[in-house]
Chain A
Amino acid sequence: MTDQPILEVQTLSKRFKLHTRDGIEIPVLEDIEFRLGAGECLVLDGPSGAGKSTLLRCLYGNYLVSGGRILLRRPSDGLVLDLCSISPHLLTDLRRTTLGYVSQFLRVIPRVSAREIVAEPLTAVGVPMAQALERADALLDRLNLSSRIRHLPPATFSGGEQQRVNIARGLIVPKPVLLLDEPTASLDARNRAVVIALIQEARLAGCAIVGIFHDREVRDAVATRSFDIQPMEREAA
């Protein structure tokens, strides 16, 4: 075991330039730096609008950074890759195998059933469909998603049900790095406890986690460290 970080963020900045609004620039993140090792859970703290979700999206490659580097040490070969400059093809591959992300809201794929949505990331890494569906069912059992509705597309599900589908989809393939954007926001106490347990299990298995948790109870249960982000306007004032 080495103490080399699996994820290292260097001088990351993010500005949005809105060409449809006369090209105004909105600075959101500046000079963000941290290192994260296996088995750590870094919680992003800071008020709403500070750019916590934006940072997670940058780490996942959903947003392009304006400056800085995001270094990921690929566990399969120890190679350090800068996520900001690798090819989209390689990034897709890393997302499949190494870099997990649970967004705040499920992006529903029309007409695809909940269990297929959950099973899909497994089939993408080569697990046969029947086996993937079995594992999806097991995880959805744990998350108390009624087997009566699993065969339906989640578009009509409640917020909490959709979120559990989203979590199951994000966790079904064990990945070395996990990005969590308020995974428990619309869950009741029972399911919140399940999600806390799932996060803990992933972390103890060596997963490095960066997360946003507004819920105190969840935050305190899973955090090993925290990182504070303050809105840029406030600093400028």
Chain B
Amino acid sequence: MSPDALMSVRQLSAAYGRQLACREISFELYPGEVICLVGESGSGKSTLLNTLAHRHRPASGEVIYRHARLGPVSLGALDEARLRELWRTDWGFVRQNPRDGLRMRISAGGNIGERLMALGERHYGRLRETAVEWLRLVEIDPQRIDDRPDTFSGGMQQRLQIARNLVTRPRLVFMDEPTSGLDVSVQARFLDLLRRLVAEMGLSVVLVTHDLGVARLLGHRILVMKEGQIVEQGLTDQVLDDPQHPYTQLLVTSVLAA
């Protein structure tokens, strides 16, 4: 692992049943860096994301993570409790469908407070104060704090997911197509917010998207996936302006402007 990398992925493969979904993936992620995984549906992007976070156990290979207390650890060697702790505190996971990432039956404030409570915060006033602060940060009217997310618009739900995940100030956030369910105008506002928070908090992000425009706007680096493998990777502007692999050339020439 490079001395300043946050995560090092080595020869990682994942399978569903006997079907190999991603093969021999290797890359490193640095603090404050946004990596975009691009490729068509079925290319293994989401599987890779879940496998990186060890929500899905790899078939082979490993992910080394620079743990805040333990230093570099192989995630495969961590027990469930330690992994769970990472999921709840040091990492965030933003889902494509807010229904998978939010608790729809508890209030917006409750959604934001949950991770803090898992860390042991019990003081009602402080929890509420933090929730109000985060609602403001993600541009949701704090008056809606007691409303359930199923009364929110799609854009608000996605912003609430961001607040719920970032409230513990994680170092690493996984995002699975967070904008694909949103209208274009709503998407723009969401991307602005994301861009600002990522820069301000110095977050490392692995973001799955099939939208090259999103990758151009947010990504420092791009990994292009096809049939479970990385066919090309590099700096975002290099991959988009001078794509090398036939598949990347096809992707780039297939959009109007990215």
Cβ A92 vs Cβ B235 within 8 A: yes
Contacting residue for B33 out of A17, A19, A89, CB 8 A: A89
Chain A, Cβ-Cβ closest to B189? A111
Q: Is the CB of B30 within 8 A of A89?
A: yes
CB distance from A43 to the nearest CB of B (A): 24
**A64 adjacent to B244 (CB under 8 Å):** yes
On whether the beta carbons of B217 and A20 are closer than 8 Å, the reply is no
Q: Is B192 an interface residue (CB 8 A)?
A: yes
Taken together as a complex, chains A and B put the C-alpha atoms of A61 and B235 apart, in Å, by 8
Q: Are A63 and B242 in contact (CB under 8 A)?
A: yes
Query: A109 in the interface, Cβ–Cβ < 8 Å?
Result: yes
Chain A interface size, as a band, is 10 to 19
A64 and B30 alpha carbons, distance in the complex (Å): 22
Not counting A88-B238, A111-B192, a sample of 7 additional A-B residue pairs whose C-beta atoms are within 8 angstroms of each other reads A57-B241, A62-B238, A62-B242, A63-B242, A92-B33, A109-B217, A110-B188
Separation of A57 and B33 alpha carbons in the complex (Å): 23
Complex contacts, A109 vs chain B, CB 8 Å: 217
- Is A91 interfacial (CB-CB < 8 Å)? yes
Which of A17, A19, A88 lies in contact with B235, CB distance below 8 A? A88
Closest 10 CB pairs of A and B: A19-B246, A63-B242, A19-B249, A88-B235, A20-B249, A89-B30, A62-B237, A88-B221, A62-B241, A20-B253
List residues of B (1-56) whose CB comes within 8 Å of A's CBs: 2, 28, 30, 33
A63's closest neighbor in chain B, by CB?
A: B242
Q: How far is the CA of A20 from the CA of B250 in the complex (A)?
A: 7
Q: State whether the Cβ of B220 lies closer than 8 Å to any Cβ in chain A.
A: yes
Complex CA–CA separation, A123 to B198 (angstroms): 13
- Cβ of A18 within 8 Å of any chain B Cβ, yes or no, is yes
Contacts of A63 in B (CB 8 A): 238, 241-242
In the assembled complex, which residues on chain B have CB atoms less than 8 Å from the CB atom of A110? 188, 217
Give the residues in chain A near B234, CB-CB below 8 Å: 64, 88
Question: Which residues of A lie under 8 Å from residue B221 when comparing CB positions?
Answer: 88
B242 engages A64 (CB within 8 Å) = yes
Residues of the B chain whose Cβ atoms lie less than 8 Å from the Cβ of A62: 235, 237-238, 241-242
Q: Which residue of A lies closest to B222 (CB)?
A: A88
Cα distance, A20 to B243, chains bound together (Å): 11
- B238 near A64 (CB under 8 angstroms)? yes
Please measure, in the bound complex, the distance between the C-alpha atom of A64 and the C-alpha atom of B232, giving whole angstroms. 12
User: How does the 8 Å CB contact mask read for B219-241 relative to A, with 1 for contact and 0 for none?
Assistant: 01100000000000111011001
Cα A100 to Cα B30 in complex, Å, equals 22
Specify which chain B residues have a CB less than 8 angstroms from the CB of A123 in the assembled complex. Answer: 199
Within 8 A of A (CB), among B167-200: 188, 192, 199
Task: Encode contact with B along A59-100: 1 for CB under 8 Å, 0 otherwise.
Answer: 001111000000000000000000000011101100000000
- Determine if B242 and A20 form an interchain contact, defined as CB atoms under 8 angstroms apart: no
Residues of A contacting B241 with CB < 8 Å? 57, 62-63
Of the A-B pairs whose beta carbons lie under 8 Å apart in the complex, a sample of 17, sorted by A's number, is: A16-B242, A17-B244, A20-B249, A57-B241, A57-B242, A61-B235, A63-B242, A64-B242, A87-B28, A88-B220, A88-B221, A88-B234, A89-B30, A89-B33, A91-B235, A92-B33, A111-B188
Give the chain A neighbours of B199 by CB distance below 8 A. Answer: 123
CA distance A109 to B213 in the complex (A): 11
Q: Which residues of B contact A89 (CB under 8 A)?
A: 2, 28, 30, 33
Contact residues in A for B238 (Cβ distance below 8 Å): 61-64, 88
Within 8 A of B (CB), among A104-161: 109-111, 123
Residue of B nearest to A111 (CB): B192
Contacts of B233 in A (CB 8 A): 88
Contact (Cβ within 8 A) A20 B33: no
Q: Which residue of B lies closest to A14 (CB)?
A: B242
Q: Which residue of B lies closest to A58 (CB)?
A: B242
State how many angstroms separate the Cβ of B190 from the closest Cβ of chain A: 12
The residue in A63, A64, A87 that gathers the most chain B C-beta atoms within 10 A of its C-beta is A64
The interface residues of chain A lying within 8 Å CB-to-CB of B253 are: 20
**Residue among A17, A19, A111 with the highest chain B CB neighbour number at 10 A:** A19
CB distance from A121 to the nearest CB of B (A): 12
User: How far is B234's CA from A19's CA once the two chains are assembled, in angstroms?
Assistant: 19
Q: B241 → chain A, closest Cβ, in Å?
A: 6
**Which B residues touch A64, using CB under 8 A?**
234, 238, 242, 244
Please, which residues of chain B bring their CB within 8 A of the CB of A57?
241-242
Contact B220–A92 (Cβ < 8 Å): yes
From residue 1 to 23 of chain A, which have CB atoms closer than 8 A to chain B?
16-20
CA distance A109 to B2 in the complex (A): 32
